[in-house]
Structure 1
Amino acid sequence: MNRSVIVTGAGRGLGRAHALAFAAAGYGVIVNDVDAEQAERVVDEIAGQAVACAGDVADWDGAANLVDRALSTFGRLDVLVNNAGFVRDRMIVSTGEAEWDSVVRVHLKGHFAPLRHAAAHWREQHKAGRPVAARVINTSSGAGLLGSVGQCNYSAAKAGILGLTLVAAAELARYGVTVNAIAPAARTRMTEQTFAELMAAPIEGFDAMAPENVSPLVVWLGGEQSGSVTGQVFEVEGGRVGLLHGWQRGRSVRRDHRWTPEELGPALLSLLDGAPAPLPVYGA
């Protein structure tokens, strides 16, 4: 075992697939899930070094415990895969405060808290003169990139993860840490309704919605060979992997004094005229 990894939300779906793939690649694996029994089941599936560490990743002390468990078990931490999450889908006018808070908490704070504690460890290692080749892989979504009708809370949290990824990549590069994000499409409990038709119709024996299709990208991003790749977002679905580009500046108008609303309106319409149309929101 040369490297170790924490995978959050690893009891089922994508997280489980990632944990199994890292174990097959020779990593020591910390299998995290809020469901302790499910985390233990995944550990039992792994033919290698793995331990379960159940807990809420959005809890500050619980996130710190994940890092401590990796260090006490394997003597090192090299990769953090932030994957844990769930959905509470509602249209905006039907979304309650609890539904907003719980989804944003688990997805967004649940990414930040483990990242914060892992980053502190890697900074200490770097300052002590020890070599660091650490990797963070965050999990966003097409909903975070384009929005998704009926998922205002989930879309906002997943968009926040993209912003967090960019900042972390910039801040942690000096310590030997890369930070990237994926936007996967796969069959999980969160997406079983969305992808119901695709699940029922595999393409010539290839299950394009299998979570296992996503894991090779995650394992590669977690390896030492990916050290030149950071601050990137990859979309992955079935056998397709694509690079995504975020907001980029388009045309602008400028003058040397303050605009009036009456003057600004026609100028804005001229900017929009001929500009590329935004990609549609999912479900629109």
Structure 2
Amino acid sequence: MPAGEVTPALEVDDLHVTLGSTAILHGVSLCVDHGDTVALMGANGSGKSTLVKALVGINPIESGRVSFFGTDTSARGARRVLRRIGYVPQRIHAGGGVPSTAIEVVRAGLLGPGRLFARTSDTAKARRALARVGLEKRENDTVHTFSGGQAQRLLIARALVREPEMLILDEPLAGIDSSSKDSLAHTIAQMKAEGVTSLIVLHETGALDDLLDYAITLDGGRVVSVGPPHPPEPGHDHPDHDHVHPHASATAHPRTPDLKD
């Protein structure tokens, strides 16, 4: 924790989120301290992805409060504190046009509303981020040639290029092989050793089990427990089970939030 900073990395107070005409989150409150590595768990439809997307501004908040490092995200000047957050969505959304290379995807993590063009130094930063996830030799390869696990690691590199103080990851273990899960665990362990706070949406802890400080479990859009992770749902602990479910892809946002100027 930085000297003199005693506020939590994340505070959520009585958060309500409604999408369309459906209420998804019902008074969610939670707190994550600096340096903690926390699993956000729950069954399909419990509100996990809805919650993390609300935290980073993708889903609108109906009522309640989200605060990072003591700054309310609805306050004037909140964009400055959001620069300290790295967000990793479930998937890269392929679009039309010329395919992006790995270095371009990671470098784009430094852009935002107040910074529309890359700087000379951005390429070096992007290369360092790619090296952290073991993809330094793939910088000129196009994204559509990446496996699911490699694409997930690329998204993590795009978040790490900002050198964030907190990472929010939405189901990073979904649909990736054992080798990629081990690579992800190594990256999270590095972040933890450096004091980075992590909130990770998971169905089961798997390769990250030894890194977690505790789990926050949702059910029906409410926090039902804070403590040791619950055991996986039947069949979800099988190594070939893919946790990318139809409801997740149907509600996926076409872009990731602009968290950095």
TM-score normalised over the length of structure 1: 0.27
Structure showing the higher helix proportion among its residues: 1
Structure showing the higher strand proportion among its residues: 2
Q: Which structure would you say has the larger Rg?
A: 1
